[in-house]
Structure 1
């Protein structure tokens, strides 16, 4: 969300403008397709050292974008987890998937380009570090552990493969909604959760078992 000017001093307003300009450009053109000069121009800044002053490097600015958006996502994730487990039962696979996807889906709006940026980072091979950071919080850890346990009947390397598939699919699916500037309807997201759950819990086929045996 774009912040009200009255809430910040001029330095903090400049910092927020740079963050939001960077997020929008990263979402449109990817991290590698954007220069610091592009970001400064989009933020209305002419001082060539302004990004270095506030963020150090381009990577530092990318981290600041994540820091700007992620706390609200994680807070909503935590609220969902608490709601799901309030009757004393453990978090189910389906609930864990909702806790991953719904807070991200709720960021899809006119002035928030976080999901679209994550999609671009995925295409550039930069998403894994952001997933790792998201899953390092107490909420993220519980969700990730639940999903790993759901796939615990599989070999460890396949568990990793399935989780990567699911996390990447969540970003891809939500990025399509973002391109239309609308969050997914409940029924649409529920159907996606069906697919992600199936991907996690499906057993290895006989073909895959045979191929793995032949490989080893």
Structure 2
């Protein structure tokens, strides 16, 4: 049976897009977004046409958004299930789990090596892409619900302090995952045996962060 030319072209285009996404994610994770050009991504993806990235994705911003989006899909599905199971609770640990475990579960499901955690750290550290990554994450309805639940379960924090600690939260989760991801990729010893154990350690640390009392403003530290 002859495969229609249109179908064949569609399959080739999908394969090319996937190759570009994989190459870009790896290069961005290892070298940073600013240092990697679309031309290098095209070459790393095995594309003879150096304009392949622009043809299939548009700008580098569009490419970064596509990488984030393909990971956020499965993370969102896991988080939506967990949020539904939690229901209405004031258990801070339960809401922390809803925010941490979907990420670590996804990294575990990807196998080895992975680059998503390191890519996310690089993107969040780049002023040009920080807002994009934040907007992409907050487009998740389940994440917004988990954030609301976390905020409601920590009423001792003012709005400003709560926002500050949630920002610390994001950096801690991303960087701990990125360190473990690099250790696994390079065959180095890891602090935790599994991604599940990594999530448990993070949740313990984050529980301390989110439940610690506030020091009154103006208190003199000696």
TM-score normalised per structure 1: 0.83
Task: Write the distance in 1 (CA, Å) between the matches of 2:197 and 2:53.
Answer: 42
Deviations 1:14-70 (CA, angstroms, capped at 9, x unpaired):
011111110111111111111111101110012122111111101111111112211
State the partner residue of 2:126. 124
Deviations 1:151-210 (CA, angstroms, capped at 9, x unpaired):
43323221111110001111011111101227745344223212112211222124xx22
Select which of 141, 144, 156 maps to 1:141: 144
Secondary structure of residue in 1 paired with 2:218: helix
Gap change, CA 1:133 and 1:150, over 3 Å in 2: farther
Task: Write the distance in 2 (CA, Å) between the matches of 1:27 and 1:133.
Answer: 18
Q: Does 1:178 align with 2:181?
A: yes
State the partner residue of 1:43. 45
Task: Write the distance in 2 (CA, Å) between the matches of 1:53 and 1:136.
Answer: 26
Stretch of structure 1 that moved more, 10-19 or 90-99 = 90-99
Select which of 153, 170, 194 maps to 2:204: 194
Select which of 43, 62, 65 maps to 1:63: 65
State the partner residue of 1:3. none
In the comparison of the two structures, how many residue pairs are matched? 201
Secondary structure of residue in 2 paired with 1:210: coil
RMSD, matched Cα: 2.3
Deviations 1:49-102 (CA, angstroms, capped at 9, x unpaired):
2111111101111111112211011111112222333xxx42632122112111
Q: Does structure 1 retain, via aligned residues, the 8 Å contact 2:27–2:36?
A: yes
Gap change, CA 1:128 and 1:193, over 3 Å in 2: farther
Q: CA deviation at 1:129?
A: 3.5
Q: How is 1:3-14 mapped onto 2 (pairs within 5 angstroms)?
A: 9-14=11-16
Q: Does structure 2 retain, via aligned residues, the 8 Å contact 1:174–1:184?
A: no
Gap change, CA 1:156 and 1:84, over 3 Å in 2: closer
State the partner residue of 2:5. none
Structure 2: unaligned runs, 5 residues or longer:
1-7, 185-189
